[in-house]
Amino acid sequence: MISELSLGVLCREEAIAAPERTSSEKRTGTIRYMIDQGVNFINLGHPLLFKNPETACEYVKNALDGGYREKVKLAINVPTHRVSSQQELSNSLAAQLELFGLDSVDFCVLDGVNRFNWAALKSIGISAWVESISASRISSHAGIAFHDDPHYLKDINGTYPHWAFVQMELSLLDYKHHPGAGGFKFTQEYNNGVIAAGITKSGRLLKNIPENVEDVLENAQVKQSPEERCVKWVLAFEEVSSAQLSIESECPTTKHAQRYLRYAEDVTPGEPDVWESLDAARIRDAYYANRDYLCTSCYCCMPCAVGIDAPRIIELVNDGKMFSNSAIPKLQYSIERHQDIECLQCGLCNKHCPKRLPIQKIVLDASCAYAQK
């Protein structure tokens, strides 16, 4: 049983931020405090994104010393973007186990699963690979971090029906998006746990709030701080097994951890009430009004002749615009390896878009802005 709150370390936003903001000792103390308070699941994040992975992992290793490892379940994330063999998956898993000084892990999470890479994963025999790491006791269980339309979960679960959980981004803004609450139908059908990640959009729902959103918050029916609203809204869904907090953006100190633990205690399971839902919808609409492109991810522009995922690129561009910060979309663009594909400039995506968005220009501009030089 995973605790109602769980913890994510070495997250993407932590790879971007200067680690000196919060000392390693404070982070170690926060992790131990949360474990002492009953948090029993830690996602070990993305150490391979850091310039010096060995140094980045030290505070986590220190926190797990002294018997704390035995008190928690650990998950390692294995990237899936453009994977072409089981060996690539095994190499990534082995490299991270070595970084953390572990012989095995409780959960192996296939990170970034969507309709495109799932087809590739099936072609390399993903079910057999998952069974092999379980049989060799490298990982006791497997889960997926999923970002796509919810109905693709049917094929994913049909191919391998033993996923322990589905991790999904679930915040006030993601209620109806990839997969949003629509994913619950499939997680319930296949008895998957649900771990809600990104509940504050890597802290961006907590600070530098746009003026039009501030106006909505001031007139909200339910008066709450942004962090209280974010965690309570997610945990109100009874389908959510755990809300994952980032050590970087949500819980850098024990004082932050204390507040989130207190908020979680006040939640009554069940869907958010009508006033909370109305407030969330107004907040969501206010943020969405700040986007550059009203793309609904209808995928009429797909498939692309060379495999460009234009709707996802537009989503990343809009994400940077909504929060006036392109650092996280830029990193995500690189992780998902969009820079590996060059646009042919055939213009078919523009012709097929029902909203007549300048998709080709958006893709080319994103390549200039986000591709690592």
- Position 95 in a domain: yes
Query: 322 and 210 in one domain?
Result: no
Tokens of 259: 């507040």
Same-domain status, 253 and 314: no
Rounded to 10 degrees, what is the CA torsion of 147, 153, 155, 160? 100
Residue 179: is the preceding peptide bond cis (ω within 30°)?
yes
CA distance 373 to 369: 10
Question: How would you write the pLDDT of the chain (373 residues) with one tens digit per residue?
Answer: 899 999 999 998 888 875 544 568 889 999 999 999 999 999 999 999 998 999 999 999 999 999 999 999 999 999 999 999 999 999 999 999 999 999 999 999 999 999 999 999 999 999 999 999 999 999 999 999 999 999 999 999 999 999 999 999 999 999 989 999 999 999 999 999 999 999 999 999 999 999 999 999 999 999 999 999 999 999 999 999 999 999 999 999 999 999 999 999 999 888 888 999 999 999 999 999 999 999 999 999 999 999 999 999 999 999 999 999 999 999 999 999 999 999 999 999 999 999 999 999 999 999 999 986 5
Question: Are 340 and 233 found together in one domain?
Answer: no
CA distance 195 to 172: 15
Residue 357 within any structural domain of the chain = yes
Radius of gyration of the chain (CA): 20
Respond yes or no on whether the N-terminal peptide bond of residue 303 is cis (omega within 30° of 0). yes
* CB half-sphere exposure, 371, CA atoms < 13 A: 12
In a domain, 225, yes or no: yes
Measured CA to CA, the distance from residue 283 to residue 285 in angstroms comes to 5
Tokens of 61: 């290793």
**Same domain as 339, residue 225:** no
Same domain, 190 and 240: yes
Q: Are residues 219 and 339 in the same domain?
A: no
- How many whole angstroms separate alpha carbon 274 and alpha carbon 267? 15
**What is the domain range of residue 329?**
310-370
Question: What is the residue type of 228?
Answer: E
| 340 and 207 in a common domain | no
**89 and 22 belong to one structural domain:** yes
Of 227, 229, 265, the C-alpha closest to 246 is 227
Verify that 271 and 321 share a domain, yes or no: no
Q: Is 292 among the domain residues?
A: no
pLDDT given for residue 18 in this prediction: 55
Tell me whether residue 302 is in a domain. no
Residue 342's alpha-carbon distances to 193, 204, 206, 363, in angstroms, are 38, 31, 36, 10
Residue carrying structure tokens 């992790």: 31
Instruction: Determine, yes or no, domain membership for 199.
Output: yes
Same domain, 247 and 323: no
Do 259 and 315 share a structural domain? no
Give how many domains the chain has, as a whole number.
Answer: 2
Cα separation, 338 vs 370, whole angstroms = 9
The answer to whether position 298 is within a domain reads no
User: pLDDT tens for residues 326-342?
Assistant: 999 999 999 999 999 99
The reply to whether 228 falls in a domain is yes
For residues 258 and 363, state if they share a domain. no
Burial of 38 by CB count in 10 Å (0-12 exposed, 13-18 middle, 19+ buried)?
Answer: exposed
